[in-house]
Structure 1
């Protein structure tokens, strides 16, 4: 299977690529600065490195890149700097999702292509009645006003949910919602839920980046797991060592 990963040079995206390679997939990555990638990647025949900014590629280039891909995964995010949060592009995740999906559709694939988006528990699945407290609603409202990346995450998931939908001939999708991300060396036990089981604002859980990468890769690799979660926004938490 050939999988395109955007955001592969990020802390979680790199873990996803590692898991896809363990599963013996071929991986394409689009990165602005290939020199920052691990040296092992640059010497690995299973990785094709495309040196570019994902939003600066032409439509024709994007169509050609996704042409032979069976799945696309986005781990794009905004750098936690003033420029990364408040500078351009403010719609990085949304615009990349829309352009990649448009490229997929332009190729008229015979089988639907899997699209996996890394999102956040701070974003509600509006297809479901996910209850949150009044206090959390107020905080989320402030985040929408003060933090453009939060709005970007919301709009990217909403595009998949409302525009691609549940019965698209060319694209099937899952938006994975991790809670607070932490670093761990190895994959550990984790749990998947349809909706958050705790407040993302006032009682956030934790999940390791490598567990997120493992779950995203497993979705791509395991058709039964994919069938269970396609068209949904599953939430992932690492299990505590007490569990």
Structure 2
């Protein structure tokens, strides 16, 4: 299997790449600064590094990149700096999702390509009419006004839900919603739910980035797991450690 990962140099995307490498799959990554990648990546024959800013690629270049991929995973996010939050491109995740999906469709492949979007529990799955408290609605309303990346995450998932939908011939998708991300060295037990089991604002859970990478890799690799969650927006929490 060959998988394209965008956002591969990020804290979570890198964990996904490592999980795919462990499972002996071929991986393509698109990164702006390949010199910052681990040396083990640069000498790995199963890892193809494409040096580019993804939104600056032409439609033809993007179509060529995804043409031999069984799956595409986006772990893109905005850097937590003033420029990353308020600068351009403000719709990095949404525009990348749209362009990658268009590139996949342009190749008219016989089998659907799997598309996984890393999203956030702060975004509701409107297909399920998930209910949240009035207080959380108010806070999220403020986030939409004050933090452009939140709107970007919402619109990216909405693109998959409403524009790709559930019956596309060329794309099957899952939007993975981690709760509060933390760093850990090893994969631990985690739980997956169709919707949040706690408030993302007032009672957030935690999940390690390596667990998110492991879950996304498992979705891509395991067809039964993929079938269980395709067209959905599963939420992932790490289980509390047992002392």
Q: TM-score range by the shorter chain?
A: over 0.9
| CA apart distance, 1:81 | 0.1
Q: Which runs of 4+ in 1 moved over 2 A?
A: none
Partner of 1:165 in structure 2? 165
Matches for 1:192-203 after TM superposition, within 5 Å: 192-203=192-203
Residue 54 of structure 2 aligns to a residue whose secondary structure is coil
Partner of 2:103 in structure 1? 103
- TM-score w.r.t. length of structure 1: 0.99
Partner of 1:4 in structure 2? 4
Matches for 1:112-191 after TM superposition, within 5 Å: 112-191=112-191
| CA apart distance, 1:241 | 1.5
Q: What is the aligned-residue RMSD (CA, Å)?
A: 0.7
The whole-number CA distance in structure 2 between the counterparts of 1:111 and 1:135 is 44
The whole-number CA distance in structure 1 between the counterparts of 2:137 and 2:23 is 40
* Residue-by-residue CA offset, 1:151-172 (whole Å, 9 max, x unaligned): 0000000000010000000000
Unaligned runs of 5+ in 2: none
The whole-number CA distance in structure 1 between the counterparts of 2:68 and 2:46 is 14
Residue 10 of structure 1 aligns to a residue whose secondary structure is coil
Total equivalences in the alignment: 243
* Residue-by-residue CA offset, 1:152-193 (whole Å, 9 max, x unaligned): 000000000010000000000000000000000000000000
* Residue-by-residue CA offset, 1:69-95 (whole Å, 9 max, x unaligned): 000000000000000000000000000
User: Is 1:214–2:214 an aligned residue pair?
Assistant: yes
The whole-number CA distance in structure 2 between the counterparts of 1:204 and 1:161 is 24
The whole-number CA distance in structure 1 between the counterparts of 2:62 and 2:188 is 35
The whole-number CA distance in structure 2 between the counterparts of 1:4 and 1:241 is 32
The whole-number CA distance in structure 1 between the counterparts of 2:24 and 2:13 is 17
Partner of 2:43 in structure 1? 43
Partner of 1:235 in structure 2? 235
The whole-number CA distance in structure 2 between the counterparts of 1:132 and 1:112 is 34
The whole-number CA distance in structure 1 between the counterparts of 2:119 and 2:38 is 25
The whole-number CA distance in structure 1 between the counterparts of 2:114 and 2:7 is 17
- TM-score w.r.t. length of structure 2: 0.99
Unaligned runs of 5+ in 1: none
Residue 236 of structure 1 aligns to a residue whose secondary structure is strand
| CA apart distance, 1:242 | 3.9
